[in-house]
């Protein structure tokens, strides 16, 4: 319900259309990505949305990025150098996505990433993360003209010094 409320889905005349895919089903965790579109009544255009959930199955707890990896300057360097992953094959805004990242200092990104994976105004950049077989993927909101959100993929092998919680068992 929090997602519906956050994206205006309960407002009269608004629409929210969301589907999901599980990117990782492990013995101790599951990673789910919810994508779709949101249109708020009298809005100029629909927005493409992405929200994620990583669950610790053993403890029944939702995990946040800060539970999984150590977020420091070195991690920010990994993010800045991460592989851009377009969510739509017709949309390649890699240079614009990297420009968005360059707008923030390392300290700002550390602060924003420590508030990620929450469906709330506290998550100012709309940062959500999910796990795949080989990578951690980080999505952040960008202006509509740049695709509404962009995704960057960091291989687990590159994260070896930053992994706090080993989920991929």
Q: Please, which residues have CB within 8 angstroms of residue 35's CB and are 6 or more apart in sequence?
A: 18, 19, 20, 21, 48, 49, 50, 51, 87
For residue 21, the cross-strand partners are: 33
pLDDT band at 46 (very low <50, low <70, confident <90, very high): confident
Give me the phi and psi of 109, to 5 degrees please: -65, -40
- pLDDT for 12 equals 53
* Ramachandran sector of residue 4 (left: φ over 0; alpha: ψ -120 to 50; beta: rest): alpha
Q: CA-to-CA distance for 15 and 46, rounded, in angstroms?
A: 9
124 in a structural domain: yes
- pLDDT for 1 equals 40
For residue 144, give its domain range: 2-159
73 in a structural domain: yes
Count of domains forming the chain: 1
42 in a structural domain: yes
- Give the three-state DSSP class for 60: coil
Using an 8 Å Cβ cutoff, are 71 and 115 in contact?
Answer: no
Q: Output the average pLDDT for the chain.
A: 85
166 in a structural domain: no
- pLDDT for 144 equals 74
- Per-residue pLDDT tens for 130-142? 999 999 999 999 8
Point out the least confidently predicted range of 45-59, 98-112, 129-143. Answer: 45-59
Cα radius of gyration (the chain): 16
38 in a structural domain: yes
167 in a structural domain: no
């Amino acid at each position: 319900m929090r997602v519906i409320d956050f994206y205006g889905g309960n407002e009269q005349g608004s629409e929210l259309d969301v589907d999901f895919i599980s990117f990782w089903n492990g013995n101790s965790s599951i990673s789910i990505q919810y994508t779709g579109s949101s249109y708020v009544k009298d809005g100029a255009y629909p927005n493409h949305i992405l929200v994620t959930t990583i669950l610790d199955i053993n403890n029944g707890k939702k995990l946040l990025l800060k539970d999984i990896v150590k977020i420091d300057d070195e991690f920010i360097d990994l993010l800045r150098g991460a592989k851009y992953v377009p969510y739509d094959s017709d949309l390649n805004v890699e240079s614009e996505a990297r420009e968005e990242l360059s707008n923030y200092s390392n300290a700002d990104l550390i602060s924003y990433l420590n508030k990620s994976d929450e469906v709330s105004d506290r998550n100012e950049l709309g940062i959500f993360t999910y796990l795949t077989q080989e990578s951690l993927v980080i999505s952040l909101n960008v202006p509509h003209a740049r695709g509404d959100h962009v995704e960057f993929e960091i291989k687990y092998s590159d994260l070896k010094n930053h992994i706090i919680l080993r989920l991929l068992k």
